[in-house]
Structure 1
Amino acid sequence: MTEHIRADRADRVLVLSFARPDKKNAITLAMYDALTAHLAEAARDETIGAVLFRGDGTMFSAGNDLLDFAKVAGAGQVPENAPRFIDAIAAFPKPVIAAVQGRAVGIGTTMLLHCDHVLLTEDALLTAPFVGLGLVPEAGSSLLLTARLGHARAMAMFALGEAIDAQAALTAGIANRLVAADALDAEALTAAQAFAALPAQAFAQTKRLMRDGAALASRIAEENKAFGERLRSAETAKIVAARMGAIGAKV
């Protein structure tokens, strides 16, 4: 486990917090492992009725930690930490709620497509700038985000790094409601508790029926393969090295 993922209980709700605000809640490999372990335990634990994701500080998550990313790309490795988390959240049978403030980048955005109820602050911005890093979409987002936004707007996010604001996300059906920043945690917990009180088996069956699980699993596997190929590519290594150099120059 890692101190950068905090797990708290609020009655039947497991609250998982990105607790790395000094790094904009960028997700490390260890954080992915912790999230996956918590989801596996929550799926087994009958006393947990719902999971709530949130982030400390002013940003939900900046996505993958670029330093971890650079080490992986430089070594030509394809770690399974992030894919394991993606598989876990995609297959999780219980309600998943997200409370999102500020920026949500990469996996910070694509994980929302696997949530059952999403609250955004009015200043939230969602981005998925994969192509600019020499990568491809992940977490089934090439299927799920395109279904919500349409081809043109999804491509603008993936390829051009364009952001969608909170109102656009609400209109597209990525979010359920916009809330004030100072009310986000309380309203998200209230929603999570309402979901946790639902008949568990009926909810799980409804969630399964609402998605084509086989098609989604197939797309995620296809994305993972392409993502791994891109990680090993000279193109991606060059881009990430340049990004890391730019960060170092600012320190």
Structure 2
Amino acid sequence: MNNLKDKVAIVTGGNSGIGYATAKELIAQSAKVIITGRRREAIEAAAQELGAIPFLADQAELHDTELLATAVKERFSKVDILFINAGVTGTLGLIENASVENFDRVMDINFRGAYFTLSKFIPLLNDGASVVILSSIVASTHNPNSSIYQASKAALNSIAKTAAAELAPRKIRVNIVSPGPHKTEIMGKAGLDEATLQQIHERLINEIPLKKMGEAEDVARLVTYLCDDAASFITGTEIIVDGGLTL
């Protein structure tokens, strides 16, 4: 398929999980893809596997984002697809036990970092470009022990919709994809052990109407569709990918 032939795409956090799967799908449709990540070895290995262009950058660091924007401008001038994907869950815990360090880390990556990635790349977006922001169904839930992560995603949804309104005159579309439970590394990175993760997966599968966990490729195909001309009349929307969990 060549639906995205010669389109220039940025995927933040592209060395694993949904970012990796989306970069793979975009490349399969002939896009030129730049993936970012915080660990040099991981991002370079992923880029080699995918046929992508690696760029070492931490979304929490504004200087890294500025360097990325400058490098992309010098090499490609303009961008057609921006997938703001990088994110962390942080450490789970009650509000009364929250640490400033955990709050700052989650907000710096999930909200502040995503916000300024969008801000710095708006001048580089071609008219008619597509921006997709990875959020989560937690943006509209209020589960105990997850207040910081939930708040970061709710804030992200708010700015995504504002950006859709601001960029509409340039025919730039901004959409949100909010996954539910998927088989990715993000829960493991929250510090949970294998036995606890397995218990969570089993419980979730019982609660999900479709009785299965999502795959990263499910989200990747949706993100890629939103970047295609087939989705040219879709902007400012949030699409839930959760197997019916929030019905």
TM-score, with normalisation over the residues of structure 1?
0.32
Please identify which structure carries the higher helix content: 1
TM-score, with normalisation over the residues of structure 2?
0.32
